[in-house]
Structure formats: C-alpha cells, structure tokens
Amino acid sequence: MAEVEKLICASDLFTDVAQEAWYHKGVDFMVRNTYMNGVSETIFSVNGKVTRGQVVTILYRIAGMPSVEGLENPFQDVSAGKFYTNAVTWAFNEGIVMGTSETIFAPDVSITREQIAAILYRYDGENTVKEDNLSDFSDGTNVSNFAKDAMNWAVANGLINGIGTGETATLSAKTTATRSQIAVILMRYLTEG
C-alpha cells in the first residue's frame, strides 16, 4: 500500500496563526500556494502592515511573474534590483496600478483597504456592479472617490466584509490593511471571486 503524504497546514509553521482564527484559511491558502511568506520561519505577522510594493509583488506571483523586458517603469522610487521592481513595472503596464503621482509609486507605504480593492478591481478587469453595497456600512460614505466603484465591487463579490457586525459594521476603507486581511481578501478573490 502506498504511503499517503500527510498534508501539513502551512500556517502551523507560524506561532501567531491560531487554527480557529478568522484568517487561518486565508493565511494557509496564500502560504501553501507560495503567494505570501512569513516574516520569519515561525512568524507570519498577522497584524503586520503590507506595503504597496508587497501587494503588487503578490499579484505578480499570482500572475505567473510575466516578463517585463522592454516595459516602461515611470517611477523614480522604483529602482532596479528591488524585490518589487518587476512587479510594479508589470502592474503599471497592465493598468493595474497607478502611482501616488506620475513619477512616484510609494512602494514602501502601507496599503489601505480601499487601495487593495482598487488594485484588485483593475486586476480583475470584469467588474460591473450596479447596486450600492457601501450604504450597508456605517462608514460607507467615507470611501475615497477613486475607490468607490472598487469598494462597491469588492463588497458585492464578498472580497471585503465589514469589520464588526450588524449596524456597527464598518468598511474602514482608509485603514491600513493587515497581512491577515490581505491574505483573506486575496484567497476570496482567487477561490470565490
């Protein structure tokens, strides 16, 4: 009889990822598929921040790391040889990301929940939602204009849920996204979106 390889839960490697945590499935999915790693061999840093450069690098991995040879990189702060250089170049040329200005990408700035929604919205490309899903949240009117369609789409597709429950649930659109939130949002996009 052939020996069956036991599948180990990838997040069992990390001391800060509890089996019963709301984010466990997302962290496990992203680590198992090598889209995200821990910050060390034993720490995932579930409440840690994620930078714009890191998010774009994760999407670049998901896309299969396509060649960027000959593509334009207009950003002065995305120099050659950085871990995110190819990812940002690819994402810019695909229309997935924009800079904070025409020449600045801000790769080391923490990403907000509305920014990840906007990036995924452009990455997806097929995103038509007619109904208003933002008014279900007490802070739905606080979403930035650039992200309203994207957040509406992300909520409609179950990628972003509110923080809290019922009438007190908030989108917290301008709040910095945590590593666990990014893992869950991306897992939902890849498996359910």
Range list of H helices, the chain: 24-32, 52-62, 85-93, 113-124, 148-156, 179-191
Q: Which residues have a Cβ under 8 Å from the Cβ of 164 and sit 6 or more positions away?
A: 170
Q: Encoding tokens for residue 34?
A: 């090598």
Could you read off the pLDDT tens digit of each residue along the chain, which spans 193 residues?
444 444 567 768 899 999 899 999 999 999 999 999 999 999 999 999 999 999 999 999 999 999 999 999 999 999 999 999 999 999 999 999 999 999 999 999 999 999 999 999 999 987 777 778 898 898 989 999 999 999 999 999 999 988 887 777 899 999 999 999 999 999 999 998 6
pTM over the 0.85 mark: yes
106, 52 contact by CB (below 8 A): yes
Distance in angstroms (rounded) separating the CA atoms of residues 161 and 158: 6
Distance in angstroms (rounded) separating the CA atoms of residues 84 and 165: 36
Other CB atoms within 10 Å distance of the CB of residue 78: 23
Nearest to residue 140, comparing CAs of 173, 178, 182, 181? Answer: 173
